[in-house]
Structure 1
């Protein structure tokens, strides 16, 4: 007991964290959620099982963090933060990060397991959605709405447009998921991925553009 209390006060070892998360993802891809238990993760990472328990309260929490660490996407805070004129525009940053994700075979395998486990163990996908998907979705929605308000003289929110943005986000994400997981002929090279994403976003932009409403007459 004394040893345990003393160990908890020590700084976390980044190398141990990386080894644990790497082992967790490898086992998750190979064996699914059931096979990625703390005992097997600790064994593959070369650490004591108690080391894993001290860092994460559940394997859902561990895998959620490990999946996010494995993503090639840049954090949404970096993408949507205000930047000066010399910096790369946020849209280009987001496109670059998406293209890298498309070409990442490892992430495709992780995503397939994540979706597959949602039927028998929905807690993992629910945790990942709450901690990472929803914050990104809100950030994208806010950025699109902010850009649209800049083009409206009154700057007022429009509930109908808000609903349209949500629908278009679903369409873009759905197209990307299909491309990554279902289409066997989809080329994985960055140039082809960029062309596809640009076309999807172009079509989404067309859907969001509404004709000007005629002015009301007295």
Structure 2
């Protein structure tokens, strides 16, 4: 049986084209927000035919979600994140992610998506945000169980304050801030919230 007969059903994929399409989508989101993204513009930026994009993503929203999820995976791929990450792992991830100017512009653009594109945001939450938020919640629960947070700490409010700290850094600090300074900012936030980080085994990962 020949190679063509052995190939699994479905269209052949070109990894280079895949990456070009996702990168183009991310660049457009960072520059102009979701409203600046269209299949036509992505195809033009990526240097591919519109049919190349349509074969992969039926709608603009599907493309945007795929690009955002791929971007998050690329950031996490640079870390050896344990099964049960600690505060140091969280700080390390944030400090590296927020030290990339394009990533910061991308995140700022995404701030308006829940209001302006609720359906897209709901789909993105299901694809990525909910699991990420659950991971942070689980981290806070473990921190409380291990005595790093007070037993009566309101974990929902702690989570909200951490999210707010990310927004504060995105909107009030320069986009070229080095990772070490960003890490220092988040360690200060954790201490202010009430984390006991001195005995945390994951501290070194966050450049305390």
TM-score range, shorter chain: 0.7 to 0.9
Runs of 5+ consecutive residues of structure 1 not aligned to the other structure = 1-5, 83-88, 152-157, 208-218
| Count of equivalent residues | 185
Q: In structure 2, what is the Cα distance between the partners aligned to 1:104 and 1:140?
A: 22
Q: Bigger radius of gyration, 1 or 2?
A: 1
1:168 to 158, 172, 176: 158
CA displacement, residues 140-178 of structure 1 (integer Å, 9 cap, x when unaligned): 212322343356xxxxxx9x76xx112101101111111
CA displacement, residues 75-121 of structure 1 (integer Å, 9 cap, x when unaligned): 6x963515xxxxxx644333221111121110111112212344332
Compared with structure 1, are the counterparts of its residues 203 and 20 closer, same or farther at alpha carbon in structure 2 (3 Å cutoff)?
A: same
Q: In structure 2, what is the Cα distance between the partners aligned to 1:168 and 1:24?
A: 33
Large movers: runs of 4+ above 6 Å: none
Compared with structure 1, are the counterparts of its residues 193 and 67 closer, same or farther at alpha carbon in structure 2 (3 Å cutoff)?
A: same
Does the CA contact (< 8 Å) of 1:79 and 1:90 recur in 2?
A: no
CA displacement, residues 3-34 of structure 1 (integer Å, 9 cap, x when unaligned): xxx99724321111100011112222333323
Q: In structure 2, what is the Cα distance between the partners aligned to 1:29 and 1:150?
A: 39
Q: CA RMSD in A?
A: 3.0
Q: In structure 2, what is the Cα distance between the partners aligned to 1:15 and 1:187?
A: 29
Return the structure number with greater relative CO, CA threshold 8 A, min gap 6: 2
Trace 1:1-218 onto structure 2 (pairs within 5 A). Answer: 9-71=10-72, 73-74=75-76, 79-81=81-83, 90-149=86-145, 164-181=154-171, 183-184=172-173, 188-206=177-195
